[in-house]
Structure 1
């Protein structure tokens, strides 16, 4: 839902005419917002001055509901009528209303932060307030941000600066902490998926490794009301499959596409953006290295760049904090792509980017999260390794349910499609030991026994669940591009969640073949071994320049005994 501060001057940005188009499209009346939404986490209040006890309790209940809708975050527009008209308040009434809102928040154990205020033509003011409450079963509000872009765009350097709190020296010092392997340090290129964290306290101050002397990852988590987990993905074409696996398997809430001002939107940036759009992940763009080259040319090319992948979105160049809040409010619902221009060496633009990350909305409502937690646990394995005396460790994402230490589970599918019983010995999240992981959280779990033959793409399921792998599945697919057409016998790499394997097209339902921009129901067969997939999962396939997306509609389990 639009914030009233999105009604900015349509001529305020000369770098991109699309800003004007966006403003004009959303500015039917400069003194009004759209009517208050019935659903979601945005609430309009004309004023809340000296409410009765009964009225106060009703307001607290209303705030609690908005917080649930926003996964612990709610936006209150003060001085705005339910119809959306910006009436405004006197200074006295505004202060009283803000004090009442703060008391409401305290009642729920929440905090309030005034994002911005605006003086209307009538001399009265309106205010936008962020109310944040950490869910009772969580240490903080967490969002996952996938970091994409061409090799040498400055992704790892930017993450190093954000998470370490120290500027780069211009020779790549900041990125050294991001690399996991020797060949990454030697080449300067990320080849694997690494996880980095950045926290924010209730006042919006960034909490990273420079927050205090010798601060640990555990202390960052404990001190943060909001935690951003960055997934640093590979930018080189050689590692594209790993990048797609990170996007598909870890289900990020947002994607950050990094583009170098010196090179522009070239190389894998186009491919990465196409994948993000295909997976329906909200994204924003960061232009780096503006200390070397002014981003004027890159900004001019972004309009055609965005249209090339069919995203049909318009860029919003972020110049001040007002633009930041506008971008954050519209990130999940509008066709606006926020663009930040930063330098990891001089630090220019980094404060605006940090502010945006602070107000970036979580992806799933508390209500939806609670529903997922009630289901049987399903942990998708993205990596597995043996860690000395600790035992076998599995890294991945818990998509459903809750896992605790000692939980009896089953792992698979094995080569014959069956599952094997195991137990969870210990759990780590963000490099910190914990006793529980909930739906939507990534974690590393240690098993009580060593299981030979484990591979990425397997799942952990509840021990009492009837589970089988499959070789055949049917999906409704749409071909985004193919030089000719897809026929039965076509082999392609499919990505379904954390599953990545070659599959063969066995049959096409309505026709003999599928051309670009056509949709049909297709029967696939995994080429190597069975996988665990389920109806409703999104599917992405690619082979060379050919690519397509779809959704699984039917699964054919193997006839095996557990």
Structure 2
């Protein structure tokens, strides 16, 4: 067998022994193995294997009783994992990891896998948790600062800690982030819980498990061509705070102002970190600090210098109108202790004014043996493994019934996810290619209606002339980015105006709800809006 089948080879070599922790199963089916009496005996067998392995068991699926490679279909393997999850729950255990391999010929392919099960139920994450979105100009050190924060490691001056967040080869090569990145660290009552190596899934899972308070970062993109991605990160996630970075060797730029405008438009309490203070003298740092203060005052905000007033006062004063400023360096670690203290103390700000579950989908992928996975931030309510949900809208406006197979948070399997958690949800009943960014997950008993148009209150922040009927910007609403057509109620909107308009999606329907805020852009034109009514529909038959 090849090296990548080491886990399978090891399990087969050990074999099924009376006092061992390895169990062979060709397949598991609901009809046979969850029948009355059978479930209890199989759960008892699983408990025995776990006790024999000092808390860990290995189930090899797709092999015969004597360890021969049989291989089963993808659907049969998926059903086997569902049944094994039920058995694990009955036995007071959980599936920690699954590895799979293809077997057979080109014409008759099968699947075999090794599931690792651990004693104890899946982690129930009930800790305090805030989500912070970063923003700022390219090369101003967003990812480097976050990398040093979550690892507790000083940067080498060449962006080494940034590499913990850049995951695509071209990002690493160019030193420029091209998509949203996620990172996490946490706190206990007595210590900071850092990641040793953020590239290891197990390390992120360890942080989630050990921390009493978690801080998740949504690290956005500073390069102008990817502004759409930045807006998606700041608008589509349930953020508690914004962290705007301004490099001391450059100062505020056009992108800085643009990103600040988005943060403030979303009414997000924001902290400004002046980065790279090790690269310039103190006079230059003070000059940039004054420039940031002027920028904040220009948009009606009150700057608050942490160096002068302290962290405790900054935590108390931070609000929609007061913006703390501090000096930082990822190389010398200047200011990072203060950021730690702030993030450990800041309260959660997002209001979850509804009890039922909502999650707008930001990313999708497929995991062998698991199926389609939808990831995003839980907007409201909670979700558990086994919940019946619906996903949509599909292109025709319909919603499809799905079931939650499992939930992961920063690569740690959890049994429940509350509002504000960034999670991946494995779904049964839908293929990955049928899921699109901008769709939503919600309870099966809900009766959602997809809309092609909605009423909104619009504020025009910038436009070269005036917005007339038929204006076509791109709207960023939740995780959707879609071309729309504006129909101002008064026929037009001028720069600086606030007015009402009907907003019509050009290509498809979405789930839109009253009170949702959005950003719109088209060239140098931009503005913000709030959904006021979703019952008004445009006649699209003309």
Contact 2:382 2:417 in 1 (8 A): yes
Q: After superposition, what is the alpha-carbon deviation per residue over 1:37-84, rounded to whole angstroms, capped at 9, x for unaligned?
A: xxxxxxxxxxxxxxxxxxxxxxxxxxxxxxxxxxxxxxxxxxxxxxxx
- Number of aligned residues: 410
Q: What is aligned with 1:161?
A: 148
Q: Does 1:283 align with 2:273?
A: no
Q: What is aligned with 1:434?
A: 414
Counterpart CA distance in 2 for 1:400 and 1:206 is: 28
- Structure 1: state its 5+ residue gaps: 1-135
Counterpart CA distance in 2 for 1:439 and 1:154 is: 30
Give 1:556 deviation, angstroms: 4.2
What's the Cα RMSD here?
A: 2.2
Alignment of 1:59-208 (within 5 A): 138-203=125-190, 205-208=191-194
Counterpart CA distance in 1 for 2:429 and 2:287 is: 57
TM-score, length-normalised on structure 1? Answer: 0.70
Alignment of 1:148-547 (within 5 A): 148-203=135-190, 205-210=191-196, 216-294=203-281, 295-308=285-298, 310=299, 312-319=300-307, 323-332=310-319, 335-364=321-350, 369=352, 372=354, 375-451=355-431, 452-505=433-486, 507-509=487-489, 511-547=490-526
Structure (1 or 2) with the larger CA radius of gyration: 2
Give 1:343 deviation, angstroms: 1.2
**Bigger mean CA offset, 272-281 vs 459-468:** 459-468
- The 3-state SS of whatever aligns with 2:258 is helix
Contact 2:145 2:330 in 1 (8 A): yes
Contact 1:491 1:503 in 2 (8 A): yes
Give 1:186 deviation, angstroms: 1.2
Give 1:210 deviation, angstroms: 4.5
Give 1:267 deviation, angstroms: 3.5
Contact 2:406 2:427 in 1 (8 A): yes
Counterpart CA distance in 2 for 1:448 and 1:273 is: 40
- The 3-state SS of whatever aligns with 1:231 is strand
Counterpart CA distance in 2 for 1:401 and 1:358 is: 24
Which of residues 522, 530, 550 is equivalent to 2:529?
550
- The 3-state SS of whatever aligns with 2:473 is strand
- The 3-state SS of whatever aligns with 1:244 is helix
Counterpart CA distance in 2 for 1:390 and 1:518 is: 50
Q: After superposition, what is the alpha-carbon deviation per residue over 1:141-163, rounded to whole angstroms, capped at 9, x for unaligned?
A: 00000011100001111111111
Q: After superposition, what is the alpha-carbon deviation per residue over 1:422-460, rounded to whole angstroms, capped at 9, x for unaligned?
A: 111110012100111122222110111442432100001
- Structure 2: state its 5+ residue gaps: 1-122
Counterpart CA distance in 2 for 1:418 and 1:557 is: 19
Counterpart CA distance in 2 for 1:289 and 1:414 is: 46
Give 1:421 deviation, angstroms: 1.1
Counterpart CA distance in 2 for 1:428 and 1:138 is: 11
